[in-house]
Amino acid sequence: MTTRYKMTLAYDGHLFHGFQSQPGQRTVQGTIEAALTKMTKGKVVLVEGSGRTDAGVHALGQVIHFDYPGAKIPPERMLFALNSIMPLDIAFRQSEIVDESFHVRYNAKGKWYRYRVSLDHFVDPFKRFYSGHYPYPVDLVKMQIAARDLVGTHDFTSFTASGGQIKNKVRTMYYVNVKKDDTANELIFDFICSGFLYNMVRILVAMLLEIGNGKRPRDDIPRVIAACDREQVRETAQASGLFLYHVFYGEIPQKYRQDLE
Amino acid sequence: MTTRYKMTLAYDGHLFHGFQSQPGQRTVQGTIEAALTKMTKGKVVLVEGSGRTDAGVHALGQVIHFDYPGAKIPPERMLFALNSIMPLDIAFRQSEIVDESFHVRYNAKGKWYRYRVSLDHFVDPFKRFYSGHYPYPVDLVKMQIAARDLVGTHDFTSFTASGGQIKNKVRTMYYVNVKKDDTANELIFDFICSGFLYNMVRILVAMLLEIGNGKRPRDDIPRVIAACDREQVRETAQASGLFLYHVFYGEIPQKYRQDLE
């Protein structure tokens, strides 16, 4: 008898070697699995994540599920129990018991990633682990106009690190937004997509910054998409600016469906 | 021939063993002195700070001065040169050349410290190095009323760790403010004083939290001040919530002179 828990969590990725368990490395998945194994006094509990995040990448709304053996624990007590034994760079936010047909990866309808870029010449010491860095002039409106060319259903082969095992690289981009936080002197990029390929957000941000800086024409995106060639965008923005912001399990809300506009 | 520079800087204190140079420890002063010695190709340059901050304590507006040997460098070039060789947890904000009669510690008219306290049961992973923690109920208005009893010229012996070398513990508290940041679920304490004793802000915050939580009567402060006895307040809030916010070299602005109201 096991009980399936779906839990939402935040983590500061800068001291983790990514989400996925790896022998000898401190990872988010490995840390949670070790905590659960402690709670069950040795029974191994496997954690499934909605997706992996790389070393240095953060989460505000990562989602996991796991099957807890033995007596059913109320979800709010599971939340409290796990938070009590987590290191301070992981915090669970929500907990619910779900049917065993629920799968955190297969049931996800889309994901929201946010990327923050500091435009300061020298990055604020308090942001060095929590932003990318682009100390060059950028034209916000140019990036905003160009970003709309990403919306829709496309083959995103040009925007993923080569060598991945996933063959089908067609995804639907529902929403892209670029804004400036003037107080922080940061750009904030938001992407909601049916699924993200390896390094996709970081490559997209690097390309949009090149457009903003005038190194690449404003109307270059349709050409790059059509090329299906990673060599078209050689840069990848730093891991430190990337946050897994939210995972959608219901339909994507209408206000984020730019592809239907 | 040397030139005296006055420079304002921010630092993230969580990976420093405090401000003051100590053999074998990573400190802010030691890091800056090592950088300046590199710039002068080996001539030792000593850095004076407006005051020390402890291990884990941060600064948004620490001020230092030093005498740079050799040719005069324009202040904005000094700023750029130092930032270029600083580790990412120190950032210089302002630079000016001052007369040799200026001394960063003796000329300071007052200092502003800010203390942030997370009220979350489990602290946000992104704030764990940048806030103290008090997961108990607090009455904000009680703390605000009590805090006013700190304003004025008092002997602050009850609010400093014993064993300090400074005999005269009379200081003038110009301004105390307690507010709540609802978005962050944090309390923010601001103190502007003619000078701070060792651990003074962290002890004051611990006492105000006890008043807010009802563990100590709201009108206890005059009694504690009069007692001149550190045993009256045994708690000290954590270093992580403390920020040296600003150092005043001109007169304290009228709007921060609650002692004159």
Domain termination residue (choose one: B71, B98, B125):
B98
Nearest to A245 by CA among A62, A4, A2, A22: A62
Residues A80 and A153 in one domain: no
Label the pairing between strands A132-133 and A110-118.
parallel
What residue in B sits closest to A243 (Cα-Cα)? Answer: B126
Taking only the tens place, the pLDDT of each residue in A170-224 is 999 999 999 999 999 999 999 999 999 999 999 999 999 999 999 999 999 999 9
Assign residue A72 the CATH number of its domain. Answer: 3.30.70.580
Domain count across chain A: 2
Q: Is the pLDDT of residue A61 over 80?
A: yes
Taking only the tens place, the pLDDT of each residue in B13-38 is 999 999 999 999 999 999 999 999 99
Q: Annotated binding residues of B for substrate, as ranges?
A: 113
Residues A47 and A119 in one domain: no
**What's the confidence (pLDDT) of residue B5?**
98
Residues B162 and B86 in one domain: no
Rounded Cα distance between B155 and B225, Å, is: 7
**What's the confidence (pLDDT) of residue A191?**
98
Nearest to A129 by CA among A19, A240, A221, A229: A240
**What's the confidence (pLDDT) of residue B164?**
66
Region A72-100 average pLDDT: 97
| Full domain range(s) for residue B23 | 2-98
| Residue A104 in domain | no
Collect all residues with Cβ–Cβ distance below 8 Å to B70 and sequence separation of at least 6. Answer: B1, B2, B40, B43
What residue in B sits closest to A89 (Cα-Cα)? Answer: B125
**What's the confidence (pLDDT) of residue A261?**
86
Domain termination residue (choose one: A98, A122, A147):
A98
pLDDT band at B165 (very low <50, low <70, confident <90, very high): confident
Q: Is B250 on the interface with A (CB under 8 A)?
A: no
Which member of B54, B67, B220, B259 is catalytic? B54
Residues B89 and B199 in one domain: no
Tokens of A199: 């390094």
For A11, which of B11, B12, B125 is closest by C-beta distance? B125
Residues A167 and A61 in one domain: no
Tokens of B192: 């502007």
Residues B215 and B174 in one domain: yes
CB A118 within 8 A of CB A132: yes
**What's the confidence (pLDDT) of residue B166?**
79
- Give the CB-side neighbour count of residue B171, counting CA atoms within 13 A: 27
DSSP B155-211: E-GGGS-TT-S----EEEEEEEEEEEETTTTEEEEEEEES---TTHHHHHHHHHHHH
Q: Is the pLDDT of residue B75 over 90?
A: yes
| Residue A117 in domain | yes
pLDDT band at A164 (very low <50, low <70, confident <90, very high): low
Chain-centroid distance, C-alpha A119: 22
Collect all residues with Cβ–Cβ distance below 8 Å to B11 and sequence separation of at least 6. Answer: A125, B28, B58, B59, B62, B89, B90, B91
Residues B150 and B181 in one domain: yes
Domain termination residue (choose one: B70, B98, B126):
B98
| Residue B105 in domain | no
| Residue B251 in domain | yes
**What's the confidence (pLDDT) of residue B163?**
67
ipTM (interface predicted TM): 0.88
| Residue B152 in domain | yes
With a pLDDT cut of 70, the percent of chain B lying above it is: 99
| Residue A105 in domain | no
Q: Is A11 on the interface with B (CB under 8 A)?
A: yes
Residues B65 and B120 in one domain: no
**What's the confidence (pLDDT) of residue A143?**
98
Q: Is the pLDDT of residue A165 over 80?
A: no
CA distances from B248 to A11, B98, B106, B245 (A): 38, 15, 11, 10
Rounded Cα distance between B106 and B112, Å, is: 16
Residue with tokens 């990562």: A62
